[in-house]
Structure formats: C-alpha cells, structure tokens
A = this chain, B = another copy of it.
C-alpha cells in the first residue's frame, strides 16, 4: 500500500489507474478506522479494481465548540488496518492543500443541510459536501462508499451527486454494531466505561420503535415518544433529538405509511452520538 500525501500525486495516480481501464473506488474517512470503516472497504473492494481510502479530519465540518482538536488521529494505526484490508492507496492530505488560503468555495445542498443534524450543527453538512466534492475531484472514483450510520449525510451526499451531475456511483452500506448493539463510531473512544454502557439505550430505543411499528403503530408522535422515553431512562444521556422523517426528503412524518427513517442524536457527557433505523411498514394484506 502507498500512502499519498499530496493532491497532485493522488490525482496523477488515479489518472494512470483509469487510463489502464481500471475502476477506482473511494472510501472517504476521517481516520480512527474501526470495523465500520473496514466493512465499507470490504464492500467497495468487490466493485472496483483499486481502492483509495482517504483519511482527512475535515476542519470545516466541525463547529467552533466541537471536538475537532480532540478527534483521534492515528495515521500509523489506520495504515496498518488499510494494509490488512488490501487497500491500494491511503490518501492523507494536509489541510492546507485541501483548503487553499483565500476566499473559500463551498458546496451546499439547500434545505436538506439545515434540518436535524444540520440544525444542531450549523454549517456541518456544508463542510461535508464541500470536502466530499473536493475528494471526488482529486480521486475521480467510479464508486464511493458511505455508511448508513450517518444517515442524513448519506441522503445529502446522494442529493449532491444527483444535483451536480457528478459521475460517481454511491454505495451506502449498513451500520456495523458492537455485540451490545451500540453503533461503531470513532467517538465511542471518547466515552468513559460508564458512558459506554449507558450508550446501550440508543439501540434499545431504536428497537422499541421498530417493535411498535411491527405491532401496528402508525402515529409518528407515539413512536418518537416511546424512543424518547427509553433514552431518558438512562440518567447519563441527554437527548438532542429523536425524529421520524421521510428517508429521502427528511421531512418530518405525522403518520407512517411506507418507510420512515428514525434519527437519534444524544449527548453522553460532551460526546455527541448519533444512530438511526429505517422502519419498514409492512404492506397490508
């Protein structure tokens, strides 16, 4: 595996790979790789000839009071995992190359970016779409993979690709969970052992909502309240939001008809965790 630190080098490598008629796959990450990322790498490996994992802690998607400085950086550990997974290139550019000095250009998906996570984290998704487009421009992959764990991010990146006519196929893969059901996240490392145990209420809340819908509940507020109740049963958890929305438009739903996306965001101490589940409404006989 080659570690590529410069934009122009990455661009040229990718150009040469494409010129040989090979397909490039991109796995955009902020490093601190865990089994969730590895599942993305394995998933895309089946679809392409050459896998590029980008490792870039993107400053513009962190708010001023967020954990940009504290975010785990472990390039050596990340490289070892990439090698073990058969990654071809790890692209780990410096921030100065991704954000040249001077006036900035941003890419923003209107409307979708200001809801939910975007309401709690103003500017977050603009930072995400801007950096994802930059990575696409440099690597020019045929396919890029994102995790379902960041559900709103996946919806927004899909919309950006559709709107800007970007010729990249997107692959969205399921959330990977620990044995106790907690979704894998780089931020889990920031939890105390007690907080890590408390985090179990998040998948429990999702399960409770799922069970309710299976049992026939169609009122969104009832489902949301039930999930809320489970989260609040844990004193270490502070709920940021629980929302039931349309999986494409992210508009809040009043009743469940076909399919709905349940989004949860909570604080455990200063650490903000998100999770989600797609609730399938069984077709009536």
Contact = CB atoms under 8 A, between A and B. Distances in A.
Interface of A: 7, 11, 19, 21, 98-100, 102-112, 129-130, 133-134, 137-138, 140, 159-160, 162-167, 249
B133 A164 contact: yes
The complex is assembled from copies of this chain, and their number is 2
A108 B109 contact: no
Contacts of A100: 162-163
A112 B110 CA distance: 20
Contacts of A98: 165
Given A129-B105, A159-B105, A160-B105, A137 B165 contact: yes
Interface of A is mostly: mixed
A55 to B, nearest CB: 16
5 contacts: A103-B163, A104-B109, A104-B163, A105-B110, A138-B165
Contacts of A99: 163
Contacts of A133: 164
A162 to B, nearest CB: 6
A130 B107 CA distance: 9
Contacts of A7: 165
A107 B105 contact: yes
Nearest to A19: B21
Contacts of A104: 109-110, 163
Contacts of A164: 105, 107, 130, 133-134, 137
B21 A167 contact: no
B105 A105 contact: no
A107 B107 contact: yes
Contacts of A107: 105-107, 164
Contacts of A108: 105-106, 108
